[in-house]
A and B are shown apart, each in its own frame.
Chain A
Amino acid sequence: MGLRQSLTTEQSLDTNLTAEDKALFKHAKNIQQILKGVKTVAMVGLSNKPERPSNFVASYLLSEGYNVIPVNPRADEILGQKSYPDLKSIPVPIDVVDIFRAPAACDAIVDEVIEVGAKAVWLQLGVINRNAANAALDAGLTVVMDACMKIEHGRYNGSLHLVGMNTGIISARRAKVGLG
Chain B
Amino acid sequence: MSNKKDFGFETKMLHAGHIPDAVTGARAVPIYQTTSYVFDSPDKAAQLFELKQYGNIYTRINNPTTAVFEERMAALENGTGALATASGMAAQFTTLMTLLRPGDEVVASSHLYGGTYTQLEHTMKQLHVKVHFVDPTDIKNWQAAINNKTKALYGETIGNPKGSILDIEKVGALAASHSIPLIIDSTFASPYLCRPLDHGANIVVHSATKFIGGHGNSIGGVIVADGKFDFTNYPSIADPTASYHNLKFFETFGEYGFLMKARTVTLRDTGACISPFNAFLLIQGLETLSLRMDRHVKNALAVATFLKEHPQVAWVNYAGLPDNPFHDLAKKYVPKGPGAVFSFGLKKGSGDVREKGKKFIESLDLFSHLANIGDARSLVIHPASTTHQQLSNAELEKAGVGPELIRLSVGLETIEDLLWDLDKALQQSNL
Contact = CB atoms under 8 A, between A and B. Distances in A.
B15 A170 contact: yes
Given A10-B4, A14-B227, A63-B44, A163 B54 contact: yes
A177 B24 CA distance: 11
A65 to B, nearest CB: 12
A174 B22 CA distance: 6
Given A51-B240, A166-B81, A174 B228 contact: no
B19 A164 contact: no
A53 B50 CA distance: 12
A44 B39 CA distance: 31
B245 interface: yes
Chain A interface helix/strand/loop/mixed? loop
A20 to B, nearest CB: 15
Nearest to B64: A162
Interface residues of B, number: 57
A172 B247 CA distance: 37
A60 B53 contact: yes
Nearest to B256: A165
Interface stretch (A1-9, A85-93, A103-111, A130-138): A1-9
B323 interface: no
A174 B54 contact: no
A175 B67 contact: no
A169 B19 contact: yes
A140 interface: no
A170 B254 contact: no
Nearest to B27: A172
B11 interface: yes
A51 B43 CA distance: 17
A59 B22 contact: no
Given A14-B227, A51-B240, A162 B248 contact: no
B3 A8 contact: yes
B250 to A, nearest CB: 10
B197 to A, nearest CB: 11
B20 A63 contact: no
Contacts of B99: none
B219 interface: no
A159 interface: yes
Nearest to B52: A59
B22 A166 contact: no
A63 B55 CA distance: 13
A37 interface: no
B177 interface: no
Nearest to B23: A177
Given A9-B3, A51-B247, A174 B255 contact: no
Interface stretch (B70-78, B125-133, B210-218): B70-78
B256 A51 contact: no
Given A60-B47, A165-B259, A170-B16, A29 B75 contact: no
A154 B51 CA distance: 12
B116 to A, nearest CB: 23
Given A164-B84, A165-B81, A173 B19 contact: yes
A170 B11 contact: yes
B80 interface: yes
Contacts of B70: 164
Interface string A151-180: 100100011111111111111111111000
B47 A7 contact: no
A148 interface: yes
Given A13-B227, A60-B47, A162-B62, A175 B22 contact: yes
B149 to A, nearest CB: 28
Contacts of B227: 13-14
A154 B54 contact: yes
A175 B21 contact: yes
B263 interface: yes
Contact of B67 (A51, A53, A60, A162): A162
A50 interface: yes
A160 B80 contact: no
Contacts of B228: 14
Contacts of B390: none
B21 A174 contact: yes
A148 B11 contact: no
B71 A170 contact: no
A162 B17 CA distance: 9
B246 A159 contact: no
Given A125-B254, A170-B15, A173-B19, 13 more contacts: A7-B3, A59-B47, A59-B52, A148-B254, A160-B54, A162-B55, A162-B56, A162-B64, A164-B84, A166-B75, A166-B79, A170-B75, A177-B22
22 contacts: A7-B1, A7-B19, A8-B1, A13-B80, A13-B227, A14-B226, A14-B227, A28-B2, A60-B47, A63-B53, A162-B54, A162-B67, A163-B67, A164-B67, A164-B84, A170-B11, A170-B12, A170-B75, A173-B19, A174-B25, A175-B20, A176-B22
Interface of B: 1-4, 7, 11-12, 15-17, 19-23, 25, 43-44, 47, 50-56, 62, 64, 66-67, 70-71, 74-75, 79-84, 226-228, 240, 244-248, 251-252, 254-256, 259-260, 263
Q: Which are the 9 A-B pairs with shortest beta-carbon distances?
A: A164-B70, A165-B81, A166-B74, A175-B22, A159-B54, A53-B252, A59-B52, A177-B22, A174-B20
